[in-house]
Amino acid sequence: MHIVVCIKQILDPEIPPARFQVDPSARQAVRGSAGLVISPFDENALELGLQLKEKHPGTRLTAVTMGDEEAVEALRKALALGADQVVLAADPAFNGLDSYGTARVLARCIEKLGGADLVLFGRQAGDWDHGLVGSLAAEELAIPCVTLVREIQMDGDGVRLVREGEGGVDVIAGRLPLAATVTNADSNQIRFPKVRDMMLARGKPITRWSAQDLGLDPADLEPTARAAEIDELFVPDRTSSCQFIDGEDGAEKARKLVQKLRELKLL
Amino acid sequence: MAKVLAFALTGSGPLPQSTYELLGGARAVADAAGGQVHLAVLGAGVAGKIGDLAAHGADRILVVDSEHLAVYHPDAYLAAARAAAEASGADVLLLPGDTRGRDLAPRLGYHLRAGIVTDCVALEASPDGLRFVKPVYGGKAMARITVRTDRKVAVMRQRSLDPRAPDPSRRAEVLNVEAAIDPSTFRTQVVDHISEETTGIRLEDAPVVVSGGRGLGGPEPFKQLEELARLLGGAVGASRAAVDAGWVPPSCQVGQTGKVIGPDLYLAIGISGASQHLAGITGAKTIVAINKDEQAPIFGVAHIGVVADYREVLPHLLEEVRAARA
Ligand SMILES: Cc1cc2nc3c(=O)[nH]c(=O)nc-3n(C[C@H](O)[C@H](O)[C@H](O)COP(=O)(O)OP(=O)(O)OC[C@H]3O[C@@H](n4cnc5c(N)ncnc54)[C@H](O)[C@@H]3O)c2cc1C
């Protein structure tokens, strides 16, 4: 079995708002002192893929990213965690692509890899939060896609997936090949790479593909590929109006809080 | 002339609350452009559900009623949504930000060759066209987005649009739309649905939500949160960190990728207030935060703040509330 996990490197989404800035003219976040990380839901997808690889001997796992040279770090982490092969799709023509364009690039990478039985994505990237690329790439590949998946079990080419639904979870049955977008659960928290594996990953090869390698004409990435345009990016005003409850100890604070809630008719 | 088509993805259940929100938003956009509001109601046994939709702003109601729409299946709903979009001829399509709308949007957009914006919180109509407002970077920034394609698909975050006050004098034309739904072509099957176990009131409907985060340090303290929630007639929520740690089920997660709630009272205990968490509580009327770090971002949105180790406050709080209830 061949599993492909698509990952995106993003600005650390956990940096506090106070340290977050945008460049309004470039319509981009300012990097500042923030680190670059694999988008958290992509890590959930990677972990799910790694668990399936361990459970089903003979499985190959490939991590693919579209990004610039810095994104190599994300791929090295994937290698350290157990990916067999990694691909970086990089080309100036890929700059500023929207979800359609990104999906097309990733789909071409998967085709060039000889296809995949299971393609995993994070449910949405933690920077632009669109949540579209996985489903769109599956459309490009003409394979079914199950979204918001927490767990996957395989039996031959049969697959059972547990996905978030309305008011509970849906259990879905499907057949390979199939794509899934993954959401967080306690069972798919990313493992920690071992220092030794991090070292070894430095020496492993990285496959680099350009638009030309992928048979993509820049015209293929237009015009729907740039359908959604960011006109404006801004940081909203945050005015705080927090009323703090003071007190000598926990008991007094609790008492005053209850009193306050009573005044507000919330109790 | 702009036609806006809102979707109600009902399954076999009642009309989702989001239907009224989408109608409110669609009405504002259509009115600004002298256009029309269409509503597609997709589901099984839909007939009895469309009673008050004209009053809430629909000019035309497109009904796709099929037994194959009783549970949400992407292939079935895609066929139904395409048929409704075709029959309507709308240029702006609005989907609800629940698990169904999020799943359907990229599929529908792909097949209609439409640009897509997800997790929108506002629609800005002007003579120059329509702009979609969407939080990005987990809510730390906002983007105004223009979609260049003729047809546009937007997924609206729940509770971000206001329903219209109903006008009983309004009338709508009701149209039945046939969709070719053939289950033998479905590429996946929905084999089971496991409902969230709710001992009490649903998180989305609760007037009071008591939420815990990583600061609680383990699953045990959630028992106290449960008791507090029960006493207050509310439900327990959590941050993603508490879910990821396995302390509470994922159904408790509040936030951008969890539940979007609007309780009268939201109590955040041991939650730092990451922007992605706050995205789920922008509709909360009063927010109370208990956190030992006075710099925690949660205090930036809280109305009432208690800077303390929760272990020193919570037992007393429980006692006070128990006494008040007795
Ligand atoms: C794309 C994306 C989507 C996300 N979606 C969501 C989402 O839907 N919902 C969500 O919640 N998160 C979401 N997150 C994660 C989010 O960024 C934060 O990581 C998460 O909300 C942090 O949870 P927390 O506040 O419980 O933990 P922390 O940030 O670790 O905060 C714990 C807090 O507890 C306080 N504390 C510690 N001990 C005590 C004590 N004894 N008494 C009182 N206070 C104490 C600390 O001061 C701290 O403020 C998302 C992230 C990404 C990237």
Q: Residue A205: what residue type?
A: P
Q: Say if residue A187 is in the same domain as residue A212.
A: yes
What is the token pair recorded at B149? 């394609």
Domain-embedded: residue A183? yes
State how far the Cα of A104 lies from the Cα of B185, in Å rounded to an integer: 25
Would you list the DSSP string of B78-110? Answer: HHHHHHHHHHH--SEEEEESSHHHHHHHHHHHH
Q: Dihedral sign for Cα A104, A109, A113, A118, please.
A: negative
Give the number of other Cβ atoms within 10 Å of residue B191's Cβ. 12
> Of 3.40.50.620, 3.30.930.10, 3.20.20.370, 2.40.50.140, which CATH number belongs to B3-185?
3.40.50.620
Would you list the DSSP string of A103-115? Answer: HHHHHHHHHHTT-
pLDDT band at residue A267 using 50, 70 and 90 as cut-offs:
confident
Decide if pLDDT at A78 tops 60: yes
Cβ(B241) – ligand 1 distance below 6 Å: yes
Q: Say if residue A167 is in the same domain as residue A248.
A: no
In chain A, % helix, strand, coil (3-state, to 5) comes to 35, 30, 40
State how far the Cα of A127 lies from the Cα of A125, in Å rounded to an integer: 6
Q: Say if residue A169 is in the same domain as residue A262.
A: no
Contacts B209 to A, Cβ<8 Å: none
Q: Say if residue A248 is in the same domain as residue A205.
A: no
Decide if pLDDT at A154 tops 90: yes
- Render pLDDT for A113-133 as a digit per residue (tens, 0 to 9): 999 999 999 999 999 999 999
Q: Say if residue A85 is in the same domain as residue A208.
A: yes
Percent of chain B past pLDDT 70, that is, above it, reads 100
> In chain B, which residue ranges form alpha helices assigned H by DSSP?
18-32, 74-88, 99-112, 222-231, 240-244, 275-278, 298-301, 310-325
Domain-embedded: residue A231? no
Do the Cβ atoms of B118 and B135 come closer than 8 Å? Answer: no
Do the Cβ atoms of A61 and A49 come closer than 8 Å? Answer: yes
Using alpha carbons only, give the angle B289, B291, B294 rounded to the nearest 5 degrees.
100
- Render pLDDT for B268-314 as a digit per residue (tens, 0 to 9): 999 999 999 999 999 999 999 999 999 999 999 999 999 999 999 99
Q: Say if residue A131 is in the same domain as residue A151.
A: yes
State whether residue A216 is helix, strand or coil.
Answer: coil
What is the token pair recorded at A114? 């000889």
In this structure, what is the dihedral angle of CA atoms A242, A245, A251, A252, given to the nearest 10 degrees? -160
Q: Mutation test of ligand 1: which of A9, A10, A11, A14 has the most ligand atoms closer than 8 Å to its C-beta?
A: A14
Decide if pLDDT at B255 tops 60: yes
The pLDDT score that the predictor gives to residue A225 is: 61
* CATH 3.40.50.620 domain range(s) in chain B: 3-185
Domain-embedded: residue A39? yes
Q: Say if residue A132 is in the same domain as residue A95.
A: yes
- Chain B residues 70-129 with a CB less than 8 Å from chain A: 71-72, 74-75, 98-100, 102-103, 105-107, 109-111, 113-119
Q: A120: domain CATH number? A: 3.40.50.620
Domain-embedded: residue A94? yes
Per the CB < 8 Å rule, is A99 touching B307? Answer: no
Domain-embedded: residue A31? yes
Token pair 């099929």 in the structure block, residue: B66
Q: Largest alpha-carbon pair distance within chain A?
A: 70
Q: Say if residue A221 is in the same domain as residue A261.
A: no
The pLDDT score that the predictor gives to residue A39 is: 98
Percent of chain B past pLDDT 90, that is, above it, reads 93
Domains contained in chain A, number: 2
User: What are A23's strand-pairing partners?
Assistant: A28
Q: What is the CATH number of domain B208-325?
A: 3.40.50.1220
Averaged pLDDT, B39-53: 93
Give the number of other Cβ atoms within 10 Å of residue A213's Cβ. 14
**A205 exposure class (CB count in 10 Å sphere: 0-12, 13-18, 19+):** exposed
CA-wise closest residue to B29 among B6, B53, B52, B61: B6
State how far the Cα of A16 lies from the Cα of B296, in Å rounded to an integer: 9
Do the Cβ atoms of B245 and A186 come closer than 8 Å? Answer: yes
The pLDDT score that the predictor gives to residue B309 is: 98
The pLDDT score that the predictor gives to residue A219 is: 82
State how far the Cα of A239 lies from the Cα of B300, in Å rounded to an integer: 7
- Render pLDDT for A35-54 as a digit per residue (tens, 0 to 9): 999 999 999 999 999 999 99
> In B170-284, which residue ranges form alpha helices assigned H by DSSP?
222-231, 240-244, 275-278
Contacts B192 to A, Cβ<8 Å: 170-171
Decide if pLDDT at A223 tops 80: no
Decide if pLDDT at B1 tops 60: no
How far is ligand 1, taken at its centre, from the CA of residue B265, in Å? 19
Percent of chain A past pLDDT 90, that is, above it, reads 88
DSSP secondary-structure letter at B169? T
The pLDDT score that the predictor gives to residue B47 is: 85
State how far the Cα of B195 lies from the Cα of A58, in Å rounded to an integer: 36
Q: Largest alpha-carbon pair distance within chain B?
A: 62
State whether residue B188 is helix, strand or coil.
Answer: strand
Using alpha carbons only, give the angle B106, B110, B115 rounded to the nearest 5 degrees.
80
State how far the Cα of B21 lies from the Cα of B95, in Å rounded to an integer: 11
Instruction: Write out the residue range of the structural domain in which residue A246 sits.
Output: 237-267
Domain-embedded: residue A232? no
Q: What average pLDDT does the structure give for chain A?
A: 95
How far is ligand 1, taken at its centre, from the CA of residue A161, in Å? 27
Q: Say if residue A139 is in the same domain as residue A67.
A: yes
CA-wise closest residue to B58 among B35, B89, B32, B83: B35
The residue whose C-alpha atom lies closest to atom 29 belonging to ligand 1 is: B272
Strand B141-147 and strand B129-136: the pairing is antiparallel
The pLDDT score that the predictor gives to residue A221 is: 82
Q: Say if residue A71 is in the same domain as residue A197.
A: yes
Q: Say if residue A200 is in the same domain as residue A251.
A: no
- Render pLDDT for B180-219 as a digit per residue (tens, 0 to 9): 999 999 999 999 999 987 778 899 999 999 999 999 999 9
The pLDDT score that the predictor gives to residue B18 is: 96
The pLDDT score that the predictor gives to residue B326 is: 78
The pLDDT score that the predictor gives to residue A56 is: 97
Do the Cβ atoms of B148 and B115 come closer than 8 Å? Answer: yes
Domain-embedded: residue A205? yes
Q: What average pLDDT does the structure give for chain B?
A: 95
The residue whose C-alpha atom lies closest to atom 22 belonging to ligand 1 is: B241
DSSP secondary-structure letter at B239? -
State how far the Cα of A153 lies from the Cα of A163, in Å rounded to an integer: 12
Q: Say if residue A142 is in the same domain as residue A200.
A: yes
State how far the Cα of B267 lies from the Cα of A116, in Å rounded to an integer: 46
